[in-house]
Amino acid sequence: MAIENDILTIITAATPLLLAAQGQLVAERSGVLNLGVEGMMVMGAVAGFAVANLTGSLSLGIAAAILAGVMMSLIFGFLTLSLRANQVATGLALTLLGLGLSGLIGESFVGMPGERMPQLDIPYLTDIPVIGKIIFGQDVLVYLSLAMTIIIIWFLFRTRAGLILRAVGDNHHSAHALGYHVITVRYLAVMFGGAMSGLAGAYLSLAYTPSWTENMTSGRGWIALALVVFASWLPLRLLAGAYLFGAVTILGFVAQGYGIGIPAQLLASLPYLVTIAALVVISGNRNLMRANTPACLGQPFVPDR
């Protein structure tokens, strides 16, 4: 059953990347570049684990993680959307704030055991060889991440609200001239990105490794940001990219399991090397970059009237 176990590991490695990247895809479609994903994720992880540990409720832990992500995103939104601070610098500062604050909050929870999020168990279906546990034996956040792909596709390309959000990202002055409140749209998109990043952090501390360790996101927020570019801001490509990067992430463990003599340090760096390589290749394709890149991405909006 080695193949089954490898696929299950890929799913668990891909899910936090997918959740965080989905939130940022929506935020970037509105024209906002938030580099603080790592900080929002780690705050979601510590808030989710702390509340779940103190209350004994995984549901409250997930809710706390989402709230932590939203609160962090509001800090970013206030500075960049209301005060028009530089989005890149503010996002980097948000990551540093999240890493430091989470270490302070989570200091007393280091080493404490946590309760793992339960997995679905459907009699007979879960027991089907190979595909049973893969399809019918996942936890609720895995299914949510897959459902969110469909929901985001429907929202962006089949609803009026999605059309408005994309219009704001492509030309905020024209959207403003048509009467749409650009700042409100971007605040909502940023908050959604924060909520999804917090949820991704909750997955790490409540499902992936039910425990809290400082800086447990280990750069996953940066990979999620790269995934959005890798997917050319398209939700379905994002799903494929997340599972591809999830497979790369666990490739080192699989290689070590088969006794392949590759240094552990090199295997651990593979996800980041692949991320850099993918961004270099995509950046070289100008037509692909122009096709879906929001034209106002990272640009502050200053109403002319």
If you write DSSP's letter for every residue of 95-137 in order, what string do you get?
Answer: HHHHHHHHHHHGGGGTT---PPPPBP--TTTTTSTTHHHHHHS
Of 49-58, 136-145, 258-267, 272-281, least confident by mean pLDDT is: 258-267
In this structure, are residues 234 and 151 in contact, taking their beta carbons and an 8 Å threshold? no
Partners of 72 in the β-ladder: none
At position 299, the amino acid (one-letter code) is: Q
At residue 141, the pLDDT reads 95
Q: How far is CA 26 from the centre of its chain?
A: 11
3-state secondary structure the chain: CHHHHHHHHHHHHHHHHHHHHHHHHHHHHCCCCCCCHHHHHHHHHHHHHHHHHHHCCHHHHHHHHHHHHHHHHHHHHHHHHHCCCCHHHHHHHHHHHHHHHHHHHHHHHCCCCCCCCCECCCCCCCCCCCHHHHHHCCEHHHHHHHHHHHHHHHHHHHCHHHHHHHHHHHCHHHHHHCCCCHHHHHHHHHHHHHHHHHHHHHHHHHHHCCCCCCCCCCCHHHHHHHHHHHCCCCHHHHHHHHHHHHHHHHHHHHHHHCCCCCCHHHHHHHHHHHHHHHHHHHHCCHHHHHHHCCCCCCCCCCCCC
pLDDT exceeds 80 at position 254: no
In this structure, are residues 141 and 199 in contact, taking their beta carbons and an 8 Å threshold? yes
Question: pLDDT over 70 for what percent of the chain?
Answer: 90
Confidence of residue 81 (pLDDT cuts 50, 70, 90): very high
pLDDT exceeds 60 at position 305: no
Q: Which tokens belong to 105?
A: 């909050």
pLDDT exceeds 60 at position 242: yes
pLDDT exceeds 90 at position 92: yes
Please give the mean pLDDT across all residues of the chain: 89
Cα separation, 141 vs 139, whole angstroms: 6
At residue 48, the pLDDT reads 96
Q: Which tokens belong to 163?
A: 């059309």
Confidence of residue 85 (pLDDT cuts 50, 70, 90): very high
Confidence of residue 252 (pLDDT cuts 50, 70, 90): low
pLDDT exceeds 80 at position 239: yes
Confidence of residue 277 (pLDDT cuts 50, 70, 90): confident
At residue 2, the pLDDT reads 62
**Higher pLDDT pick, 302 / 94:** 94
Query: Stretch 263-270: mean pLDDT, rounded?
Result: 68
At residue 262, the pLDDT reads 67
pLDDT exceeds 70 at position 228: yes
pLDDT exceeds 70 at position 80: yes
| Residue entry with tokens 């989570």 | 106
pLDDT exceeds 70 at position 294: yes
Cα separation, 85 vs 225, whole angstroms: 20
Question: pLDDT over 90 for what percent of the chain?
Answer: 64
Query: Stretch 247-251: mean pLDDT, rounded?
Result: 79
CA dihedral 118, 123, 128, 132 (to 10 degrees): -30
At residue 218, the pLDDT reads 87
At residue 66, the pLDDT reads 98
pTM (two decimals)? 0.92
Confidence of residue 259 (pLDDT cuts 50, 70, 90): low
Cα separation, 160 vs 293, whole angstroms: 20
Cα separation, 87 vs 293, whole angstroms: 17
At residue 302, the pLDDT reads 85
At residue 258, the pLDDT reads 64
In the chain the domains, ranked by start, together with CATH numbers, are 2-292 (1.10.3470)
pLDDT digits (tens, 9 = 90+) for 144-171: 999 999 999 999 999 999 999 999 999 9
